[in-house]
């Protein structure tokens, strides 16, 4: 029957469909469970709700029906429950605070009955995350046949191993893609100013962290200060905490660093790529320039700080790291010392964006100091330089590989 339900859009399920569950004696399965009531007052009730929903998400996904009574797992009547917008808000507050990380794929549908009540359907799908119950519990749950059971350590290890690096990498790439799309559309946070944008992303490989954003260290704003910024503010919005720098006369920030409750770090700066020297220093046809030493240095310093700050608040490697440059059509790369203002060696970039491949950081040794971070990021910098017509990043010593800009 779960396959039949899957074929019906959730919002199109009617009381007649629910009556069919009784007529056809559709019993509970690993993907179907019936509940006569939805209780959300006592901690034990909240915990039970989080166990049932997270167990579905940790298993094959499925349907929870609230407002249908069952005997020995077979539905017998549909009394319904009282459920309004206030109850819905309470439901999601419980699930958001009681399950870590938050369930990414969950839908709700209240089916209105002729008796004035509703049957609430909660539908979940596996989302690649392992969800933990937080209400006085700290355990993981799964569906075993028609019941919910706690997962043993071997179950957890099997789940983690089943999420292959390639699958997780696809998820990470989608997270980064959404972030970059918001930057380019100027819809991110409080808005994005400037033309060219420097951006970076750090995403944990194990997606089971849940940070309490209201109880992070007092020095949070120093740990996660914005990229290339000398003064900044901090703000919690939704499921993220932001630090951001803003020029007084401008309405939107020029630098923002976001830390999500899942331990993700996203940062951008739209000031470094402004043409601060005037058009007379850049040859005809160029829009602006990328300061080759400065942007590498700021990425290296920021990523070193962010990785060690994540470690300090309990988020550990492995990590995926990505850097990118956006809206740089017509830019050139300033390779010589900035004082000389010689840009002629670089070709004009004809694309809009530069997005190298992800870098995978597997251990703390890879971000122990600035040189370790520089070695980690070198493939991405080499890629960027090649797009501007050079063999590699000249800021690395050809013999030792050390980052040593001249």
pLDDT of 11 reads 85
In a structure prediction context, what are the per-residue pLDDT tens digits for the chain, which is 406 residues long? 556 677 788 888 999 999 999 999 999 999 999 999 999 999 999 999 999 999 999 998 999 999 999 999 999 999 999 999 999 999 999 998 899 888 878 899 999 999 999 999 999 988 878 888 988 788 899 998 889 998 887 777 677 666 655 677 888 999 999 999 999 999 999 999 878 999 999 999 876 667 888 787 778 889 999 999 988 999 998 889 999 998 766 689 999 999 998 899 999 999 888 765 555 566 777 888 899 999 999 999 999 999 999 998 888 888 999 999 999 999 999 886 544 445 568 899 999 999 999 999 988 999 999 999 999 999 999 999 999 999 999 999 988 889 988 6
pLDDT of 387 reads 96
- The string of pLDDT tens digits covering residues 68-116 is 999 999 999 999 999 999 999 999 999 988 998 888 788 999 999 999 9
**CATH H-level, domain 2-162: superfamily:** Schlafen, AAA domain (3.30.950.30)
Residues carrying CATH 3.30.950.30, the chain = 2-162
Taking the CA atoms of 27, 32, 33 and 38 in sequence, report the sign of the dihedral they define.
Answer: negative
Percent of the chain with pLDDT over 90: 62
Structure tokens, 1: 């029957």
pTM of the model: 0.62
**Contact between 94 and 108 (Cβ < 8 Å):** no
């Amino acid at each position: 029957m779960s396959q039949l339900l899957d074929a019906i859009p959730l919002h199109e399920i009617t009381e007649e469909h629910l009556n069919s569950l009784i007529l056809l004696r559709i019993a509970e399965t690993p993907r179907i469970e019936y509940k006569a009531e939805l209780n959300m007052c006592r901690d034990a009730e909240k915990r039970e709700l989080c166990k049932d929903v997270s167990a579905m998400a940790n298993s094959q996904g499925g349907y929870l029906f609230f407002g249908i009574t069952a005997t020995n797992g077979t539905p017998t009547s549909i009394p319904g429950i009282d459920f309004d917008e206030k109850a819905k808000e309470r439901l999601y507050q419980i699930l958001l605070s009681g399950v870590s990380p938050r369930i990414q794929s969950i839908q709700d549908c209240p089916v209105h009955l002729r008796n004035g009540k509703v049957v609430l359907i909660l539908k979940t799908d596996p989302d690649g995350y392992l969800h933990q119950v937080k209400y006085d519990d700290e355990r993981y749950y799964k569906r075993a046949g028609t019941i919910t059971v706690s997962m043993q350590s071997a179950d957890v290890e099997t789940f983690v191993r089943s999420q292959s690096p390639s699958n997780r990498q696809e998820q990470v790439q989608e997270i980064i893609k959404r972030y970059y799309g918001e930057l380019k559309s100027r819809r991110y946070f409080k808005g994005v100013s400037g033309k060219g944008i420097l951006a970076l992303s750090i995403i944990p490989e194990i997606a089971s962290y849940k940070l309490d954003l209201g109880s992070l260290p007092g020095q949070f704003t120093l740990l996660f200060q914005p990229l290339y910024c000398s003064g900044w503010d901090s703000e919690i919005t939704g499921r993220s905490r932001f630090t951001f720098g803003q020029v007084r006369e401008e309405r939107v920030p020029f630098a923002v660093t976001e830390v999500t409750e899942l331990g993700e770090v996203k940062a951008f700066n739209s000031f470094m790529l402004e043409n601060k020297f005037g058009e007379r220093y850049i040859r005809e046809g160029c829009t602006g320039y990328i300061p080759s030493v400065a942007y590498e240095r700021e990425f290296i310093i920021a990523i070193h700080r962010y990785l060690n700050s994540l470690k300090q608040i309990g988020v550990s490697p492995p990590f995926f790291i990505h850097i990118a440059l956006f809206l740089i059509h017509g830019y050139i790369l300033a390779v010589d010392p900035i004082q000389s203002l010689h840009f002629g060696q670089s070709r004009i970039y004809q694309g809009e964006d530069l997005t190298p491949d992800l870098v995978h950081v597997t251990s703390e040794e890879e971000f122990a100091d600035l040189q370790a971070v520089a070695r980690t990021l070198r493939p991405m910098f080499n890629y960027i330089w090649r797009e501007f017509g050079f063999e590699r990043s000249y800021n690395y010593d050809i013999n030792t590989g050390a980052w040593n800009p001249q």
